[in-house]
Chains A and B, each alone.
Chain A
Amino acid sequence: DAGVIQSPRHEVTEMGQEVTLRCKPISGHDYLFWYRQTMMRGLELLIYFNNNVPIDDSGMPEDRFSAKMPNASFSTLKIQPSEPRDSAVYFCASRRGTAVTANTGELFFGEGSRLTVL
């Protein structure tokens, strides 16, 4: 089975530009998570979805960030307008619901999108 697929792998943009990161979760996974990784703050959860519905977006830094999941196989994280402090690696991860027997809730990660805002 294919893993979590993210695009682009690298993005370099200028301050003020719109950035869209994309994610295709593993088929059959009920949950999708967006994490941000920086040297200063480590791995931070931005938002997660259950069955395409946003459940907790308390980690989204501010209104410049938005995330959508229009269907079970696609999600986007958008930053508009982007700022240099948004430079980070953004990870998408997915997993099955924990109602599944013996499921400890292991997350499967994509390879991440490295964003650089100049």
Chain B
Amino acid sequence: AQTVTQSQPEMSVQEAETVTLSCTYDTSESNYYLFWYKQPPSRQMILVIRQEAYKQQNATENRFSVNFQKAAKSFSLKISDSQLGDTAMYFCAFRSQGAQKLVFGQGTRLTINP
């Protein structure tokens, strides 16, 4: 079974700094999808960024980018110019190509301080 590990339970940075959240996963498959979801205090899970494993280019969405290392099974999220509104729980998630469900990591609580 696939597993997703987020080794940083909590992180805290100052506004405007850059922060990187770590995620590793375990799978024997070659085709899969990876996601980062954000859960603010409002509780709703919001997709931040996604990556297809067959794409070598790292995904980027405005201030959010990933460092996808397929051989190392690593999928880190970088937030540049962090803002107070980035304060939230961040979940890394995995879905193999043939499966239907997302497997989530335990989450990283990120706090952006003014």
* A interface residues (Cβ-Cβ under 8 A, vs B): 31, 33, 42-43, 45, 48, 50, 55-56, 89, 91, 93, 98, 104-112, 114
Known A50-B100, A104-B52, A106-B50: A42·B44 in contact at CB below 8 Å: no
What are 23 A-to-B residue pairs whose CB atoms are below 8 Å? Answer: A31-B100, A33-B101, A42-B104, A42-B105, A42-B106, A43-B91, A48-B100, A48-B101, A55-B100, A56-B101, A89-B43, A91-B45, A93-B45, A104-B33, A105-B100, A106-B50, A107-B45, A109-B46, A111-B42, A111-B43, A111-B44, A112-B44, A114-B43
A-B CB pair tally, cutoff 8 Å? 48
In the complex, residue of chain A having the shortest beta-carbon distance to the beta carbon of B104: A43
Give the residues in chain B near A111, CB-CB below 8 Å: 42-44
Give the residues in chain B near A105, CB-CB below 8 Å: 33, 95, 100, 102
Is residue B35 within 8 Å, beta carbon to beta carbon, of the partner chain? yes
**Inter-chain contact B44/A106, CB cutoff 8 Å:** no
Which 9 A-B pairs have CB atoms at the shortest separation, nearest pair first?
A: A109-B45, A43-B104, A111-B44, A104-B33, A42-B106, A112-B43, A45-B101, A104-B50, A105-B95
Give the residues in chain B near A31, CB-CB below 8 Å: 100
CB contacts under 8 Å to A, within B87-112, are: 91, 95, 97, 100-102, 104-107
Give the residues in chain A near B44, CB-CB below 8 Å: 109-112
In the complex, residue of chain A having the shortest beta-carbon distance to the beta carbon of B50: A104
In the complex, residue of chain A having the shortest beta-carbon distance to the beta carbon of B6: A42
In the complex, residue of chain A having the shortest beta-carbon distance to the beta carbon of B34: A104
Is residue B47 within 8 Å, beta carbon to beta carbon, of the partner chain? yes
A93 to B101, CA, bound (A): 11
A43 to B45, CA, bound (A): 11
Give the residues in chain A near B97, CB-CB below 8 Å: 98
* Nearest CB on B from A53, distance (A): 12
Give the residues in chain A near B35, CB-CB below 8 Å: 104, 106
Give the residues in chain A near B91, CB-CB below 8 Å: 43
In the complex, residue of chain A having the shortest beta-carbon distance to the beta carbon of B102: A107
Residue with the highest number of chain B CB atoms closer than 10 Å, among A42, A105, A108: A105
